[in-house]
Structure formats: structure tokens, C-alpha cells
Amino acid sequence: MDGPIEPAKVVVITGFAEVGSNLNNGKPYVGPVYAASDEPVEDDDTKTRYEADIISHAGVWLIEPEVFKSYDPKHKGFTQEIELAHDLEPLEASCSGLEDAVL
């Protein structure tokens, strides 16, 4: 990565003050704000203020199960969607496994 991510996509560090469009002090404002303090951030200041934090937190991270409610990536399920271009042959199945498939 050569530089920081586009400020509009950095929702962890900054938000966009469009809901209500007023800061905590009641002054009208439209633009990025620092999420921790609701302090307005000028577009030109975003790179200098947040580039180091953005780069240090960007990249591929290992999943920590204790942080994500004991999520185990080894037991991850996958869903695959297939488009059929023709009818399939009739399928015969026993009733023993159908109880689990009922919604």
C-alpha cells in the first residue's frame, strides 16, 4: 500500500457528520469528524493525522477466537450457488434425513 485509504472508507477513525449535521457544540457542520471526540477534521488533515494509524492497522490479520466469540476458522461453513442450465434427473431419498432439512 502506497498511501492511506480514502477517508470516506475509514469508518473506524472518522465518521461523516451528516446525521443531524450538528456537532456536539450545536454548530452546523458537514464533513469528516474524529469518531472518538466528534471533532471536525479537514480533508487536508486526514492524511497527516491518520496515515500512521491506518497503515499500522491495514493488511492481513489472523483471526483471534477469543475476540470473535470463540469463532474457529477450521469449522467455517461455505455456501455455493449453482445455476442449472437443464433439469436434473429425479432424485430418490429416504425419509430419515428429511426431518433435519425441514425449515
Q: Using one digit for the tens of pLDDT, what is the confidence trace for 8-57?
A: 655 454 454 444 556 666 777 777 777 777 778 887 888 888 888 888 87
- Four-residue CA torsion sign, 18, 34, 44, 55: negative
**Domain ranges, ordered by start, for the chain:** 1-79
What residues are paired with 40 via a beta bridge?
A: 33
Model confidence, pTM? 0.33
